[in-house]
């Protein structure tokens, strides 16, 4: 079946719009990622030891990073300490936040999800 060019263009535009909508307005973006990196660098500047992979922000409503997004320190490759519940953000673990940004102990971004 041959699809006319204008119809195909409309279909592709509609698909792109739908894909953007599915990402959700509350999903992590560059601003959120930058905020997480800043939190990490601020913690390092204060002398905080990030080797244990602490949670930097639980990202709840009004959170520093963004609502529904946590900022966590982890390692690449992951280590056992990263899977220790004590080193994870409560809001994500408990299901109150559905997105996370992980940075390594030197504040390089590992994952944005």
Q: What percent of the chain has pLDDT over 70?
A: 70
- β-sheet with 69-73: strand ranges across: 55-57, 69-73, 99-103, 109-112
Q: Whole-model pTM?
A: 0.71
Q: Is the dihedral of CA 29, 103, 39, 69 positive or negative?
A: positive
DSSP class of residue 66 equals: B
What does the pLDDT look like over 17-50, one tens digit per residue? 333 334 444 567 888 899 999 999 999 999 999 9
Neighbours of 15 (CB within 10 A): 10
What does the pLDDT look like over 48-98, one tens digit per residue? 999 999 999 986 545 566 778 899 999 999 999 999 999 899 998 888 888
């Amino acid at each position: 079946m041959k699809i006319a060019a204008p119809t195909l263009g409309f279909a592709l535009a509609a698909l792109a719009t739908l894909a953007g909508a599915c990402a959700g307005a509350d999903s992590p973006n560059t601003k959120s990622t930058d905020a997480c990196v800043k939190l990490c660098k601020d913690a390092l500047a204060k002398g905080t030891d990030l080797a244990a992979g602490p949670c930097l922000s639980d990202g709840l409503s009004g959170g520093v990073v963004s609502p529904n997004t946590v900022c966590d320190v982890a390692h690449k490759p992951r280590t056992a300490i990263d899977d220790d519940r004590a080193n994870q953000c409560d809001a994500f673990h408990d299901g109150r936040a559905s997105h996370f940004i992980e940075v390594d102990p030197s504040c390089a971004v590992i994952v944005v999800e």
